[in-house]
Chain A
Amino acid sequence: MAVIGLVLLTGAAAVATRSANALGLEERVAQHRLANGLTLLLMERHQAPIVAVNLTYKVGGVHEHNGITGVAHLYEHMAFKGSRTIGVTDARKEQPVLEELDRLAEAITAEKTRGPAADQTRLSALRKQFAETEAKADSFVVPAELATLYQRHGGVGLNATTGKDLTRYFLSFPSNRLPLWAAVESDRMANGVLREFYKEKNVVLEERRQRTDNSPSGRLHEAFSAAAFQAHPYGLPVIGWPSDLDGLSKARTEAFFQTYYGPANAVLTIVGDINQKDVIALVEQTFGRIPARPPSPPVLTTEPPYAGERRVEVEYVAEPQILIGFHKPGTGHPDDEVFDVIESLLSDGRTSRLHKRLVQEKQLATSVSAFSDYPGALYPNLFVIGATPRAPHTAAEVEQALYEELDRLKKEPVTPRELEKILNQIDAAQVRALRSNSGMASRLGYFQAINGDWRETFKRRDRIAKVSPEDIRRVAAQCFTKSNRVVATLVRPPKQEVESKP
């Protein structure tokens, strides 16, 4: 295998900066679809006897609405608690206890939602019962059994992420333990159990305190997204509103799992020291047994068109920060790559336009960056620029300077050298991506899940090569207007409020 790899790559090296599929990805990646709809991507890399797996589900914050915000992320936490066979001593005896716990939780929520009329005596009686039942449920728990199985067999980097569009589970391990992984992971896909559900809500609330409530940028981003989308779920926080998390029932969470965690919603990518044929057989034997589920419902809400700048301020005791967003189309639009090119022009590297102008020349900011698909990629989203002003300069000065740079895009054609630099960067990034099994698995799985085709990893490059200076001028003029933008700034609260508390 190593010899074949070398031959392929030696041939590739000479054309690395010209051809997008220079590294022979088309030949090296195998795609297989199971009868139940699961998509499997495989790539052999035999540098070390290890393998990286990435299981990506096409579900995330975008499938939520007010009332159940945070459910996709909470479920991701629950997926580490095991299944009907893992993480429990006796699932049959556990089940009625869990059901009793749910009844008590629902009763507490019902009582609490009566607000000032809530019966406090009843509430505290219910809470006492709840605590006792929870202790009983705990007695069935085999703590961290899933992670223990993986770690004992050398698994590393076990984790997961939840975003707007995707929820991704991943780890790496010695490649001869693939059967163990397939058994555990297919069990987790088919037989998720919401164990330690109520405790995990508290863990997530701590995560929210850490990422959002006590973080200046976390607060700013939450308010910014909420201001940008009045209808589309991209405006909702993935971590969830605290009250939604508190009230979220297990029944709603279970329904969410049943709706979105079907095999047809999953892309499974495996990169490393594997034999493709063996792995296909293994996956068929395990994941292949999972019954197909009905297709998950589409996201119906679209953001209604509107005109008019929206501005929000977030008061918090911290130095200023600013976020500016412009509405734009989502994945699949013919201008997709034009925005990608603009993002690179503006903020990739020290020679990018915003860094040169705002950080180096005018020294108005300590950092500035642009993202072309905020907060998700799949649906119409925002082109966002974020900056941290450098004292004594203000957010207003930074904002003005940013608009001047955006106006330049509308007026002056971009130079061929700038475009060539971007292509060189993309080509080199494609080569570097192949250094890591987990990075490659993540990349292939991402494009398969978002664009429906892992080949986008290199097809995209060819479209970027076709972007012209006129395309950039046209898209900039269309998108970067006052009536299309959302601006959020972090400001200090009025003085007297600051001093009232230590």
Chain B
Amino acid sequence: MTAAKSLLFALALVLNVSSGFAQTAPLGDPRTMKFEPVTITVPEVERVVLENGLIVYLLPDRELPLVSVSAMIRTGAIYEPADKVGLAGLTGIVMRTGGTARLAGDQVDEELEFLAANISMGIGAESGAASLDLLKKDLPQGLAIFADMLRAPAFESAKVDQAKRQALEAIRRRPDSPGGIAAREFRKLLFGADHPLGRESTTDTVSRITRDDLVAFHRQFFAPNSLILGVTGDFEKPAMLDALRKAFGDWQPQTVALPVLPPVTASPGAGRSVNILRRDLSQTHLRIGHLSVKEDDPDYFALALLEDILGGNSFTSRLFRDVRSRQGLAYSVGSRIAPGNAGPGIFMMQALTKGPSTYQALSSMLDHMERMRQEPVTPEELQLAKDAFLNSFVFSFADSGLIVGRLMGLEYHGLPKDFLQRFRDSVVRLTKEDLLRVARLHLHPDRVIILAVGKDNDFEKPLSAFGQINVLTLKPGG
């Protein structure tokens, strides 16, 4: 707690704070060692809006002769048509591979790889992302290709076909990965198999996608006023702004209407939902959870700290210490809270355990979840969670890419730019009573969705004790 108070958020271009320790520090019991709080000086990041609405964050960092440009684009798979699930992902892939007006896709690769320059491009569920990373000397060439790809990708037919075939093969191979099955099925249960946040591509939806669909998807969402750029590395701000204006300045803005996300109705239900997906495996993939808060929920910070104690922190969390270290039931066990942005967030616990200990592992995890609601965490647990958060806070500012990337993400999601500082200040003040209150309000062990992917014949006890069992099946091509 003392560490937090002295964290310094001065806006200055000082990248360097030395914090040596006394040379003759007597090394006694490490449990009683005390240290000066960690102070950090966060460099000022400049935000510029170009005439066409393109937002640019700039943070020079001259340590190495490298430049990085990252981009976030207002789009996402949640906006693709229901009968063409997979379209957003394919659009991102072929923007990268399918060439530009000036260069064929293969020429782009030749040129970039010869320069050891990296460009990545992808569209996820709730955003698009792109990045350029190269040696400073190659910036003009690299930036031109990067801008061409974002603005006017050529979508060569051969590359569209290739990306589709790859996507279809990936669908064929889905059953090979039990973890992948568990992840996709769990999302379907949480959000509904037809909801944009829960659905998955199938052989049918991918086969239906044409080159024209990619062109149209790109045209619908890619505009300068939908883009946030972040530039870090070895450059002078005025020269960089000139280069960006040259690359993006004549790109005309357009109105981008984001489709409205339908409400989630699939969960939570009135009681627990117990689901088994039978696979011939010697280890069960268990997922337990329910929908949760959005990132801007005032309770999110407390919930995040609570979740660190329950299963988020490696080695020291309750789930790790009990289910793994004490009972020896799992190698992978933990919990996670993923706050929502476009839609609701997710709270979940997961473990992989051998078939004959499935019931025991599940039962223990539910008990731990319930205990968070029944009694306050111990003062020691609260202090450790706070200290771990506050003393590692400096790692959120470890490099310029992290600092700029966070500002971009916050702006994208409409969160305040001092979000992280608010998070820290809030954590300092949290009490065990606060954690108990949010546990009671936001954890619902009586209404969780349980998913077990594995061989239920091997389970030591049937899972029907937790609720009525619903047997799921994997559809071929889905």
User: Measured between alpha carbons, how far is A135 from B387 in the docked complex, in Å?
Assistant: 31
Q: Which of B61, B170, B283, B331 has the most CB of A within 10 A?
A: B331
* Complexed CA–CA distance, A358 and B325 (Å): 46
Q: Separation in Å of the B182 CB from the closest CB of chain A?
A: 12
Closest to A360 in B: B162
Partner of A143, one of B15, B278, B326, B383: B326
| A250-258, A273-281, A477-485: which lies at the interface | A273-281
B61 to chain A, nearest CB (A): 8
Cα–Cα, bound, A206→B454 (Å): 14
Does B31 count as interface, using CB distance less than 8 angstroms? yes
Judge whether A165 is part of the interface by a CB distance below 8 angstroms.
no
Contacts of B391 in A (CB 8 A): 152-154, 173-174
Other A-B contacts than A183-B28, A431-B64, 14 sampled, CB-CB below 8 A, are: A9-B62, A50-B394, A143-B321, A154-B391, A176-B38, A180-B33, A182-B27, A183-B33, A199-B326, A206-B332, A363-B165, A390-B166, A435-B64, A435-B66
Which residues does B use to contact A, with CB under 8 Å?
Answer: 15-21, 23, 25, 27-31, 33, 35-36, 38-40, 61-66, 97, 106, 109-110, 113-117, 133-137, 162, 165-166, 169-170, 172-173, 175-178, 234, 278, 280-283, 313-316, 320-321, 324-332, 352-354, 383-384, 387-388, 390-395, 397-399, 455, 457
- The CA of A182 and the CA of B280, in the complex, are separated in Å by 47
CB-CB under 8 A from B106, the residues of chain A are 351, 360
Among B18, B30, B175, B281, point to the contact of A184 (Cβ < 8 A). B30
Q: Is B16 touching A199 in the complex (CB atoms < 8 A)? A: no
Q: A206-B329, A366-B170 in contact; A48/B321 too (CB < 8 A)?
A: no
What is the 8 Å Cβ interface bit string for chain A, positions 1-43, against chain B (1 contact, 0 not)?
1100110011011001100000100000000000000000000
How far is A146 from B315 in the complex, measured between Cα atoms in Å?
9
- The yes or no answer to A158 lying at the interface (CB within 8 A) is yes
In the complex, whether A411 has a CB less than 8 A from a CB of chain B is: no
> Is A203 at the interface (CB under 8 A from chain B)?
yes
Most buried by B among A16, A151, A158: A151
Q: What are the residues of chain B within 8 A of A363 when measuring CB–CB?
A: 162, 165
Q: Which residue of B lies closest to A179 (CB)?
A: B25
A144 contact from B64, B325, B352, B393, Cβ within 8 A:
B325
Cα separation A274 to B20 with both chains bound (whole Å): 7
| B27 contact from A179, A200, A207, A436, Cβ within 8 A | A179
Nearest residue (CB) in B for A274 is: B20
A329-358 interface (Cβ within 8 A of B)? 349-351
A138: CB under 8 A from chain B? yes
A391 interface residue per 8 A CB criterion: yes
**CB pair B109 A350 closer than 8 Å:** yes
**A residues 350-375 in Cβ contact with B at 8 Å:** 350-351, 360, 363, 366
What are 20 A-B contacts with C-beta separation under 8 Å?
A: A46-B16, A49-B17, A50-B398, A144-B325, A154-B394, A158-B314, A159-B314, A174-B19, A177-B33, A183-B28, A203-B325, A203-B328, A206-B330, A209-B282, A209-B283, A209-B354, A281-B23, A349-B109, A391-B169, A432-B64
Known: A275-B20, A319-B176. A431 touches B457 (CB 8 A): no
- Interface residues, chain A, CB within 8 Å of chain B? 1-2, 5-6, 9-10, 12-13, 16-17, 23, 46-50, 80, 85-86, 138, 143-144, 146-149, 151-156, 158-159, 172-180, 182-184, 187, 196, 199-207, 209-210, 213-216, 273-275, 277-278, 281-282, 285-286, 317-319, 349-351, 360, 363, 366, 388, 390-391, 417, 420-421, 424-425, 427-429, 431-432, 434-436, 501-502
Contacts A213-B282, A431-B64 given; does A203 touch B331 at CB 8 Å: yes
Q: Please determine whether B330 and A203 come into contact, CB atoms closer than 8 angstroms.
A: yes
- Complex interface: chain A residues within 8 A of B134 (CB): 428
**Contacting residues, chain A, for B314 (C-beta < 8 A):** 147, 158-159
Tell me the bound Cα distance from A85 to B392 in angstroms.
25
Instruction: Give the complex CA separation of A456 and B285 in angstroms.
Output: 43
Q: How far is the CA of A350 from the CA of B354 in the complex (A)?
A: 40
Bound complex: CA A240 to CA B181 (Å) = 27
Please state if A47 and B399 are interface contacts (CB–CB under 8 Å).
yes
- Which of A1, A210, A214 lies in contact with B16, CB distance below 8 A? A1
CA distance A274 to B435 in the complex (A): 38
Instruction: Please name the residue on chain B nearest to A426 by beta carbon.
Output: B116
Contact call A431/B331, Cβ cutoff below 8 A: no
Closest-by-CB residue of A relative to B324 is A203
A180's partner among B35, B321, B324, B393 (CB-CB below 8 A) is B35
With A6-B62, A319-B172 known to touch, is A278 a contact of B325 (CB < 8 Å)? no
Q: Which of A9, A173, A199, A210 contacts B64 (CB 8 A)?
A: A9
B18 touches A47 (CB 8 A): no
Shortest C-beta distance, B86 to chain A (Å), equals: 15
Q: B387 contacts which chain A residues (CB < 8 A)?
A: 151-154
